[in-house]
Structure 1
Amino acid sequence: MPNIEWKPDKKSPMPLYRQISLYIKNKIENGEWPVGSKIPSQRMLANTFNVNRSTITTALDELAAEGLILGKSGRGTVVMNNTWSLLSSNLPPDWISYVNAGAHKPNQLFIQEINRSEFDPSIIRLGTGELSPELLPNEMMKEIFKKSAEKMKPLSYEEPKGLLFLRKEISRRLEKYGISVSPSSILIVSGALQALQLISVGLLRKGSTILLEEPSYLYSLHVFQSADMRLSGLPIDDEGIQINNIAYNKQQKNGALLYTIPSFHNPTGIVMSIQRRKQLLEICEKERLPIIEDDVYRDLWIDEQSPYPLKSMDKNGIVLYLGSMSKSLSPGLRIGWVVGPQPVIERLADIKMQTDYGSSSLSQWIAAEWFASGLYDEHLQYIRQQLKVRRKVTLSALNKYFSDIATWNIPKGGFYIWLKLNDKVYMHELFSKSLERGILINPGSIYEPQSSCSLRISYSYASLEDIEKGLYTISQVVREIINDGSIK
């Protein structure tokens, strides 16, 4: 669905339906919405423009009468070329066929709608996996900018692996977690997601299978699937990923590597036990199965630190370790890192240079100064305190509103609570009805394809008041769906 930032002017003497009709007509006639593209649903347009459905119906009827759009069974409403101005000119390229032919798969529809809705300030975001703006260190950041400006060289490109000053600081920091690595085995990336993209195109063959926990954050992406690879989920328990079938899956499903989030898992919040970490590393070493350890939540512990990373016990170089500042400091800084064998890092660095010629020099200098100044650890203490308060409020609200209709875990850190409804519901209905009431949720089916009873609840973004209000509203929607008999 096209992203819409424009809003009708309710103070204008021109009727709202006419404003909307002219807006869509202009989008079509200037080629922004090409022939064959799908028009957003009436419900979505009404929510976007904050008008009644009848207003949208009138606007679309006017466009249909002009031959600009047409409702098609099973496809919704699409842009057509039945107007005289279009018919009398050369036909434009069939951009929709180009869009559909692209190698990179589109996001899940849930994800696309979440990405659009997250920027509506009127919506309560109960699934967002980032720190609230009120928790971001704005004053500290100003101080860091001043310190960085004194050290910073002219902002030219950095070397392929990234700013040496930053890589040295990361190397020093990782020593605290038992990881001994030189700066030459560290690559700076634009967030951990870019690391996964580089790995997918730089290290793996088409047709490979990625083993992972189920549920998993990785299911919400199409990084590996777009590179003609498959995902194969393994069950988890309270200690983390179950290891019994790793060897079988590696051999029978052409497993190329295993992806895991052992510390404050996304979306369940589980922390892999030290014993399970040792067992996992042992079996992967035996099977010669590389591991991607995604450790972006490590610094966000609340009750106690999680065990040392898998990478700290890795003596054979089978673990690629991912870290990031996006979850703990600033999502907009876009700084992460990959740690691994030097030949692998050099391969990934070469691909990164072909992709973007290096992460932002400014961001790298700022990130390095956060570490070098000691302000990063000071900031983390504050964040942990705030997350503890937010978790308490969230758990209290869950006890009030969900105790008879769901169960949930109590995370020891990170952002997420994995909420399991007692009854299965149509996730699309729950998502849509919640959004209509101004609450944005992350359905469990994003992270577990067959799930129809789970939600990922985040306590990191919404205000304390909105957490309470949002959870109450979701509980009411769930009860309505169950009482209506609209369960799966």
Structure 2
Amino acid sequence: MEWKPDKAGETPLYLQIKDYIKNKIETGQWTVGMKIPSQRKLAERFEVNRSTVVTAFDELIAEGLLERKSGKGTRVKNNTWSLFSEQPPPDWSSYVKKSIHIPNLPTVQDIHKAEPLPHIIRLGTGEPSPELFPREMMARVLKRLPSRIRSLGYEEEKGLYPLREQLSAYMKTLGISVSPSSILIVSGALQALQLISVGLLRRGSTVLLEKPSYLSSLNVFPSSGIRLFGLPMDATGLQLLALRKHRKRQNASLLYTNPTFHNPTGTVMPVEKRKLLLKICEEEQLPVVEDDVYRELWLDSPPPKPLKAMDNNGSVLYIGSFSKALSPGLRIGWIAGSETVIDRLADIKMQTDYGSSSLSQWAAAEWLSSGLYAEHLGQMRSSLRDRRDLAEELLRTEFEGIAEWVKPAGGFYVWLRLPQGLSLRELFEDALKAGILLNPGHLYDGDDDCHLRLSYAYASVSDMRKGMAKLAGLIRGLASRR
């Protein structure tokens, strides 16, 4: 909610809040049957006393616009035109509940609502800090585009050809030989996963993945009727014995893996294990989706080559993106794989959005062809290395005796292990009240009750120092109350 009552105005605050809610209801933004935010949450967002919100609610209830039921919160009862209508208005809430797409986890919804708040220190956010945005380089790229762009119409179904040419050349540097016709431009890695979920798998299929995994924080596959089955990890990544064991038991259709700077653990799978993983998948005829969006963010030494670079049978679908290393707002990623698969996914993408932003594709092509992307990566690694080292220093100073972790070699994250018995939900809520936003481990593994995904990529250096000290204090406080 961007709106806040005017505390300097002549109209009483409760009336301002009443009029705001009434307008939401009368204009159909808050529909009949919809559960509205609690009095406590509204008081926090409007920065007023709870009693002020209670008074506004009471007036709206008296006017017949809201109703309050014990244990079920407050809901929209009527709007002014429905009071005079012979037929009841549509119950949009029932449509929402019956829709096929599963809503985000409640904690994920809370995170999305809190992220825009200006006072929040985001210690879990998986994107580069605004401080790391290459403003001057981006200005140079955008300045060159008018002479490059012939039009801003729809691009061909697989995406802008000059960009796919550049990506083909770029992936050769990673050991991947793939032609432009085997590359599909997508609006970020998330869309790649969505296309795979609806374009390659049947309802009732099973996808194997690491446990924990970023994919578990999304409902992309479950919303398509596809089951996720987590496989245990060790210090070198996915446990291959578990892969052999569960491939047949689960009748799995696909393996999703993030072997390089794994999200959320930061693990890097060694080269020999990658070869063995591919061998097992080839023997089991199990296709692989390799999520490699953190590859270029190595901080100490380059990681092993991608699985796709070792793939001689076309069994690996490779997902890359500019979101982590350059800019999430560019919304440009790509899938590389066999032409049969790419043709299928391109057809579905055309049915979905008729192509990613043409302007963004031209900008991405210019980043690659100009050499600025390679230059930027060097600067990005240097900045992230400093941030990683600062996070390590703060952890040693503030978290001694209350947490365990492994120093990451790249990516954005520290996978922080906390003492058993702490309530991660309570910690999340206490931290939010203290102005700190966290990503608890259960987002990536529903059974996890002792990890936090800490990011050293987003918060400013001063916020990181302040936030980590506050977080350590909250953890010690919770531990002392056990």
- The verdict on a shared fold, with TM-score over 0.5 as the criterion, is yes
Specify every segment of 5 or more residues in structure 1 that has no aligned partner in the other structure, as ranges: none
Aligned residue among 39, 51, 56 for 1:54: 51
Matched, 1:22 2:19: yes
Aligned residue among 95, 108, 111 for 2:108: 111
What is residue 42 of structure 2 aligned with on the other side?
A: 45
Matches within 5 A, 1:256-335: 256-335=253-332
Shift in alpha-carbon separation, 1:72–1:254, aligned structure 2, 3 A? farther
* Higher deviation after alignment, 343-352 or 145-154: 145-154
Matched, 1:383 2:369: no
CA contact (8 A) 1:47 1:436 kept: no
Specify every segment of 5 or more residues in structure 2 that has no aligned partner in the other structure, as ranges: none
What is residue 334 of structure 2 aligned with on the other side?
A: 337
Aligned residue among 453, 476, 481 for 2:478: 481
Aligned residue among 76, 82, 87 for 2:83: 87
What is residue 466 of structure 1 aligned with on the other side?
A: 463
CA contact (8 A) 1:215 1:233 kept: yes
Q: Which amino acid aligns with 2:449?
A: S
Q: Distance in 1 between matches of 2:280 and 2:295?
A: 23
CA contact (8 A) 1:161 1:349 kept: yes
* Deviation per residue, 1:319-338 (Å, 9 max, x gap): 00000001111111000000
* Higher deviation after alignment, 469-478 or 95-104: 469-478
Residue 209 of structure 1 and its aligned partner are, at CA, apart by 0.7
Q: Which amino acid aligns with 2:448?
A: S
Q: Distance in 2 between matches of 1:14 and 1:407?
A: 53
What is residue 70 of structure 1 aligned with on the other side?
A: 67
What is residue 9 of structure 1 aligned with on the other side?
A: 6
CA contact (8 A) 1:28 1:34 kept: yes
Residue 46 of structure 1 and its aligned partner are, at CA, apart by 2.1
What is residue 372 of structure 1 aligned with on the other side?
A: 369
What is residue 223 of structure 2 aligned with on the other side?
A: 226
Matched, 1:356 2:353: yes
Q: Which amino acid aligns with 2:336?
A: V
Q: Distance in 1 between matches of 2:275 and 2:39?
A: 54
Residue 85 of structure 1 and its aligned partner are, at CA, apart by 5.6
CA contact (8 A) 2:34 2:76 kept: yes
Aligned residue among 173, 178, 181 for 2:178: 181
What is residue 416 of structure 2 aligned with on the other side?
A: 419
CA contact (8 A) 1:405 1:422 kept: yes
Residue 349 of structure 1 and its aligned partner are, at CA, apart by 0.3
CA contact (8 A) 1:444 1:456 kept: yes
Matched, 1:395 2:419: no
What is residue 153 of structure 2 aligned with on the other side?
A: 156
What is residue 241 of structure 2 aligned with on the other side?
A: 244
* Deviation per residue, 1:64-101 (Å, 9 max, x gap): 333322333343222123x7763332321010111111
Q: Distance in 2 between matches of 1:70 and 1:427?
A: 33
CA contact (8 A) 2:232 2:242 kept: no
* Deviation per residue, 1:389-420 (Å, 9 max, x gap): 11111111111221111111211010000011
Q: Which amino acid aligns with 1:206?
A: R
* Higher deviation after alignment, 249-258 or 288-297: 249-258
Q: Distance in 2 between matches of 1:76 and 1:455?
A: 31
Q: Which amino acid aligns with 1:88?
A: F
Q: Which amino acid aligns with 2:129?
A: S
* Higher deviation after alignment, 27-36 or 296-305: 27-36
CA contact (8 A) 1:122 1:438 kept: yes
What is residue 212 of structure 1 aligned with on the other side?
A: 209
CA contact (8 A) 1:46 1:52 kept: yes
SS of residue in 1 equivalent to 2:261: coil
Shift in alpha-carbon separation, 1:396–1:322, aligned structure 2, 3 A? same
Q: Distance in 2 between matches of 1:14 and 1:479?
A: 45
RMSD: 1.3
Q: Distance in 2 between matches of 1:445 and 1:157?
A: 41
Residue 18 of structure 1 and its aligned partner are, at CA, apart by 1.9
* Higher deviation after alignment, 28-37 or 170-179: 28-37
Q: Distance in 2 between matches of 1:326 and 1:13?
A: 47
**Identical amino acids, percent of aligned pairs:** 57
Aligned residue among 401, 404, 407 for 1:410: 407
Residue 194 of structure 1 and its aligned partner are, at CA, apart by 0.4
Shift in alpha-carbon separation, 1:433–1:54, aligned structure 2, 3 A? farther
CA contact (8 A) 1:258 1:292 kept: yes
CA contact (8 A) 1:261 1:295 kept: yes
CA contact (8 A) 1:259 1:292 kept: yes
* Deviation per residue, 1:356-389 (Å, 9 max, x gap): 1111111111000000000001111111111011
CA contact (8 A) 2:26 2:80 kept: no
Q: Distance in 2 between matches of 1:72 and 1:287?
A: 55
SS of residue in 1 equivalent to 2:240: coil
SS of residue in 2 equivalent to 1:255: coil
CA contact (8 A) 1:128 1:458 kept: yes
TM score, norm. by length of structure 2: 0.97
* Deviation per residue, 1:424-456 (Å, 9 max, x gap): 322222111111111111111111101111111
* Deviation per residue, 1:171-230 (Å, 9 max, x gap): 101111110111110000000110100000000011011100011000110000000011
Residue 5 of structure 1 and its aligned partner are, at CA, apart by 1.9
TM score, norm. by length of structure 1: 0.96
Q: Distance in 2 between matches of 1:305 and 1:53?
A: 54
Aligned residue among 436, 439, 444 for 1:439: 436
CA contact (8 A) 1:423 1:482 kept: no
Q: Distance in 2 between matches of 1:43 and 1:228?
A: 36
Q: Distance in 2 between matches of 1:203 and 1:248?
A: 24
Q: Which amino acid aligns with 1:86?
A: S
Q: Distance in 2 between matches of 1:105 and 1:84?
A: 32
Residue 42 of structure 1 and its aligned partner are, at CA, apart by 2.6
* Deviation per residue, 1:137-182 (Å, 9 max, x gap): 1111111012222111111111111111000100101111110111
CA contact (8 A) 1:405 1:423 kept: no
Matched, 1:35 2:57: no
SS of residue in 1 equivalent to 2:404: strand
Q: Distance in 2 between matches of 1:443 and 1:62?
A: 39
Q: Distance in 1 between matches of 2:452 and 2:145?
A: 41
SS of residue in 1 equivalent to 2:173: helix
Q: Which amino acid aligns with 2:83?
A: L
* Higher deviation after alignment, 338-347 or 57-66: 57-66
* Higher deviation after alignment, 242-251 or 435-444: 242-251
